[in-house]
Amino acid sequence: MLPIDLRSDTVTRPSAAMRAAMAQAEVGDDVFREDPTVRALEERGAALVGQEAALFVPSGTMANQLAILAWCNRGDEVLVGEGAHSYESEGGAGAVLAGVQFRVVGRGGHFTPAEIEAAARGEDPTGHAPPPTLLMIENTHNRGGGKVMPAIALAAVAEAARTRGLRTHMDGARLFNAATFCDLPAAAFGQHVDSVSFCLSKGLGCPVGSLLCGPKDFIQRAFRFRKMLGGGMRQAGILAAAGLHALDHHLPDLRADHHRARRLAEALAHLPDVEIDLASVHTNIVIFKVRHRRPAAVCAALADWVRVLPFGGDTVRAVTHRDVDDEDIERAILAFNEVLGG
Ligand SMILES: *Cc1c(COP(=O)(O)O)cnc(C)c1O
């Protein structure tokens, strides 16, 4: 039997129905904006998150970096939460491509309006301090264990940023997981920020793709930067069809991923050597520590049965997704008991 793959929700493979939708997609040249399926996906995505327009891009990394390029000037400061993907996991792109520098605010990826106000110092007339121009909010927060920033907290933080003249971008790679956890439409989050990105290739099960959403003039600027980065795709309707299929059929299934993550987290909490914060398991990510064992050693010991990832310095991450079912989770729990139980 193959090991159960809980390394990431990016390991999901397109279903037969998704592949059929891809095969039947109407296509055109999207660099000329002539691919009807891409346009349909962009319209659909923008509406879902409460924004005016959208741009289909190859990855969540490109979506975040386009947001930085389209909102900032070189030498600007971008405020991010602790462990944010945009500055820790995108290869240094913010520094290289947009020439911005990042400053971390708050703790565990969350911050208060007061922390934003304190960090968003105004223009420095002497020119010493780089002007903070963008706040990036990651929701759900990956390194925070898939934790959700509730819409009301998000609104307060975005308001604090706006009153200080900052733009706000939400890295919503897993925004639909946040929306599912709160039982709210994604627009209840997306409407509070200037721009939003979300991934189709994670829990939604597409092979490729993310959407960057925001006002029309912002998307127009991002369109040009996408071309510069080599992200202009031609008959991309083949890929966009997968996105439309996922938005039509896969959103309700995120709830089951969350139940499975909770089941796994609670089983892990029973193991004497496992340290886990059950209160932070909101969605499909489970992060835990194993006493006296290095994360890489834990992952290696489990590898024949369950695949998980060393995450950060001393933790292990497991992620549930649509390619694992209840039975797989029960099998995974047996393996965790076997390897970590004694
Ligand atoms: C996965 C992820 C991204 C984008 O990742 P890609 O692999 O570039 O698609 C961005 N932000 C967060 C929080 C993520 O988890």
pLDDT band at 205 (very low <50, low <70, confident <90, very high): very high
Give residue 313's pLDDT. Answer: 85
Q: How far, in Å, is the centroid of ligand 1 from the Cα of 12?
A: 14
Residue from 115, 134, 126, 12 nearest 69 by CA: 134
Q: Which two tokens stand for residue 62?
A: 């490109």
- CA 195 remoteness from chain centre: 14
Q: How far, in Å, is the centroid of ligand 1 from the Cα of 342?
A: 35
Q: How far, in Å, is the centroid of ligand 1 from the Cα of 61?
A: 6
Tell me the average pLDDT of the chain: 96
Q: Which helix (H) or strand (E) holds 286?
A: strand 285-290
Q: Are 3 and 305 in contact (CB under 8 A)?
A: yes
pLDDT band at 43 (very low <50, low <70, confident <90, very high): very high
Q: How far, in Å, is the centroid of ligand 1 from the Cα of 64?
A: 9
Q: Are 139 and 80 in contact (CB under 8 A)?
A: no
Give how far Cα 340 sits from Cα of 65, 172, 293, 303, Å.
Answer: 40, 33, 10, 13
Q: How far, in Å, is the centroid of ligand 1 from the Cα of 210?
A: 9
The 3-class secondary structure across 180-212, one letter per residue, is HHHCCCCHHHHCCCCEEEEECCCCCCCCCCEEE
Q: Say if strands 210-214 and 53-57 run parallel, antiparallel, or are unpaired.
A: antiparallel
Give residue 1's pLDDT. Answer: 82
Report the nearest atom of ligand 1 relative to the CA of 202: 1
Report DSSP state, residue 73: -
Q: Whose CA is nearest to atom 5 of ligand 1?
A: 60
Q: Are 86 and 143 in contact (CB under 8 A)?
A: no
Residue from 78, 282, 42 nearest 169 by CA: 78
Give residue 122's pLDDT. Answer: 77
Q: Are 107 and 239 in contact (CB under 8 A)?
A: no
Residue from 233, 174, 227, 222 nearest 200 by CA: 174
Q: How far, in Å, is the centroid of ligand 1 from the Cα of 140?
A: 11
Q: Whose CA is nearest to atom 10 of ligand 1?
A: 60
- CA 104 remoteness from chain centre: 18
pLDDT band at 342 (very low <50, low <70, confident <90, very high): low
Give the tens place of pLDDT for each residue, 44-57: 999 999 999 999 99
Q: Whose CA is nearest to atom 3 of ligand 1?
A: 60
Give the tens place of pLDDT for each residue, 249-299: 999 999 999 999 999 999 999 999 999 999 999 999 999 999 999 999 999
As a whole number of Å, the CA-based R_g of the chain is 20
Give residue 11's pLDDT. Answer: 97
Report how far residue 21's alpha carbon sits from residue 10's, in angstroms, rounded to the nearest whole number.
Answer: 20
Q: How far, in Å, is the centroid of ligand 1 from the Cα of 285?
A: 14
Q: Whose CA is nearest to atom 6 of ligand 1?
A: 60
Ligand 1 binding pocket mutation candidate from 142, 175, 317 (most atoms within 8 A of CB): 142
Q: Which helix (H) or strand (E) holds 53?
A: strand 53-57
Ligand 1 binding pocket mutation candidate from 10, 62, 148, 199 (most atoms within 8 A of CB): 199
Q: Is the pLDDT of residue 97 over 90?
A: yes
Average pLDDT on 177-205 reads: 98
% of the chain at pLDDT higher than 70: 100
Q: How far, in Å, is the centroid of ligand 1 from the Cα of 172?
A: 9
Q: Which residues line ligand 1 (CB under 6 A)?
A: 59-61, 64, 85, 138, 142, 171, 173, 199, 201, 210
Residue located via tokens 């987290």 = 265
